[in-house]
Amino acid sequence: MVKRLGATFLAALACGVAAQVGPGSYGGTVSGLDLMDVDLMFIGAHPDDDGGVTATLARYVLDGGHKATVVTLTGGEGGGNATGRETGRALGLIREEEERRSLGMVGVTSPHFLGLRDFYFTLSAEETERMWGGQAFVCDVVRLVRVRRPEVIVTMWPGPGTHGQHQMAARAATLAYTRAGDSAYCPEQLREGLQPFTPLKLYSYPGSAEDATVRIPTDEVSRTARVRYADLRSVAQFNYRSQGWDATNTLPAKSANPETFMLVSSRVPVPEQETSLLTGALTPGVGAPLGVRLQARPASYDIGQGRPAPVEVTLTNATAQPMTGVRLALDVPGGWRVTGTPGARTLAPGESMALTLRVTAPEDAGAERTPLAVRYTATQAGQAVSGRNVTFVRPVPPVTATFAPTFDVAGYQAFARQTGTDWVIGTLPTRLPLVLGEPTAVTVNVTNRGAQVASGTLDLKLPDGVTVVGKPEYRVNPGETAAVTVRLQATAAALPAGRQSAQLPVSVTAGGFPDTATAFLLPSLTVPRLATPPRIDGDLGDLAAGAAGSLSPADLWWRTKPDSEADASAAFRLGYDDQFLYVGLNVKDELVACNIAPDDVKAQLRSDAVGITVDPGGQSRDTSTTLQAAAFPCTTAGFGARGFRDADANQGVMEETAPGMQVASRKTDGGYSIEFRIPWAAMPARPQPGTPLGLNLVLYDGDQPDARVGANISQSGLAWAAFSWGGKQALPYLWPRVTLGK
């Protein structure tokens, strides 16, 4: 474990950090900005978000002599605490110090914290922006970019599917990369004496393994630390103890996986296969001198098949010597055409050339992301020099059909178009919630870019158990887009064995253009009105008239699949009356952990627990208008459930946040039973009988008999609608649909 770390390693690491000499020493510098100047900046939302770049920082800072900083937008006060009971700003101070210590071990000694609020868990970028007071914080990020002047910015994945605060941190980083060099952006900073600064490269954590464009190895030995970068990363991240990282980080590290990144944008030439984040910006490429700027940007990511499309190309000689015989070319796939390529010319130091090339894709070109590589060749100081950069386009036919995106996907698409990073989206599939047993209306947008009226029938490819109701036909005038309503019917036959929900691919084609989406099959129930309210005592016998459902090990959404139904599973009942929603579960659990103190009731993920999420209006876009109740079946004081609200806009023990809520539990053979009485009056809205609402049930399991009091022992998570991380908890439109019987 880390405690075996030798004194030799610690001494070497301390000397390595202390030995860094650069602008921070004021040696030969003339301004305060020289003190601040760095080569690389990581921008994240929470302390520990830098976990994916730790080894890379060690490589470039400790061993490469470069300087780096980290910008963290919040203090992480909304996270868990595996080391104590501190919450709120007190926890944020602890987490900030953890990050300082972790970063200090890899040579980063001056991180920044913007102090934005880390509120409850969310997957919504829109909610995050609202909670952070709009876009003003972006100028704070821009200010740091202008002060610290990083050539390379690294950030998180900016699109849907991750923490909403991660998305907004990445979008702020993207805006800073795009606009920090524009004096018209955040102009008040010029009165502070700041000048525009233009970073040269932008990377993000990849949205998927396939998106990675560069992999930085961690199995090599650091010259300074004298251990592998993976080991150094593990030791540094051991500092994140409040988040439980000390329970999994070891020395030597359990694995030495590379750290992966996606090149989002570059203003400098890059090699065909990058092996470093610094190439072209801080270190020269093969045959490509530092100081050359090269970019290509299409007017639109989508281009018409068989139609010329403009691509703006800019080359700047920012070196100290002239470049002669400069030629530009655009590499395209076979069968494509390029026009407008200029002849050779000379570029003096500081001189630029900008031109518009026209690219024509064949009429049968595939409607897929296609790279276009712009290249320059020249002679400088008697030596041949050259470089390349890449952009992307997607050829599309005159008629296209696309699933109307959900609001979160649409929001990211608009942002990506605004910042010229729309190629990153690719074919990011939208999400289609389909309620089992009910026809669901889905909108398909048919666009006609041609000169003639387009008409036909949509071709839908659906999984077994999902059918289309009726014949979805379209008729669209030239230059217009028509919304076509398609009704899809999903049945239980589409579900994998043992599961109550499913995530399946669907596609639609018109005019030869296919578009994909992900169908989320949601269970549903009609909940009966109970004539007699059940007694909340942990005995579910008086809830037998309620609607029934179950959770099995196959309904996994989090971490490790339970060994068997005896390890983790549940049968549940739902009922209601005019005042309350009633929920009862018989839980199978061979080892019920009771490691939560009765006065430390929060964060259901930490131990054995049950969560109930309710979207009373059935239309919520985020959890701010939902109620998320939870309870631990037992505490260190013994059996006796303790209830609270978690991950919604009113977190805390139930007595304070949901007056009238009751919970009770009983130990049973092979597990426990637990009951909830949740008042409608505690919810943001009152659901009406006959109107669907969103409701999910979540079961947490942690099998650790000797768990430390308060420790996070989360091992498995099951849910009635069980999708990947977050969907079960923070995307209300992916919760099961429940109707209150009249």
Burial of residue 431 (CB within 10 Å: 0-12, 13-18, 19+) is buried
Q: Is 580 helix (H, G, I), strand (E, B) or coil?
A: strand
Low-confidence stretches of the chain (pLDDT beneath 50): 1-25
Q: Could you give the CA distance from residue 228 to residue 255 in angstroms, rounded to a whole number?
A: 11
Q: Which amino acid is at 107?
A: G
Q: Could you give the CA distance from residue 539 to residue 582 in angstroms, rounded to a whole number?
A: 13
Q: What are 528's two structure tokens?
A: 């009966």
Q: What is the pLDDT of residue 728?
A: 66
Q: Could you give the CA distance from residue 86 to residue 84 in angstroms, rounded to a whole number?
A: 6
Q: Could you give the CA distance from residue 460 to residue 562 in angstroms, rounded to a whole number?
A: 36
* Residue that has been written with the tokens 């700047």 in this structure: 316
Q: What are 212's two structure tokens?
A: 């990675």
Q: Is 535 helix (H, G, I), strand (E, B) or coil?
A: coil
* Adjacent-strand bridge partners of 524: 737
Q: What is the pLDDT of residue 725?
A: 61
Q: What is the pLDDT of residues 102-151, one digit of tens each?
A: 999 999 999 999 999 999 999 999 999 999 999 999 999 999 999 999 99
Q: What are 650's two structure tokens?
A: 């009113």
What's the half-sphere exposure (Cβ side, CA atoms, 13 Å) at 75?
16
Sheet of 323-331, strands arranged across: 302-304, 383-396, 370-380, 323-331, 345-347
* Beta-strand pair 383-396/302-304: parallel
Q: What is the pLDDT of residue 428?
A: 77
- Total Cβ atoms within 10 A of residue 28: 7
Which of 573, 633, 562, 567 minimizes the C-alpha distance to 604? 633
pTM for the whole thing?
0.93
Decide if 263 contacts 274 (C-beta within 8 A). yes
| DSSP secondary structure letter of residue 15 | H
Q: If you compute the radius of gyration of the chain from its CA atoms, what whole number of angstroms results? A: 28
Which of 180, 178, 159, 179 minimizes the C-alpha distance to 170? 159
* Residue that has been written with the tokens 């459930």 in this structure: 641
| DSSP secondary structure letter of residue 598 | T
Q: Could you give the CA distance from residue 274 to residue 271 in angstroms, rounded to a whole number?
A: 6
Q: Could you give the CA distance from residue 176 to residue 196 in angstroms, rounded to a whole number?
A: 11
Which H/E stretch holds residue 400? Answer: strand 399-403
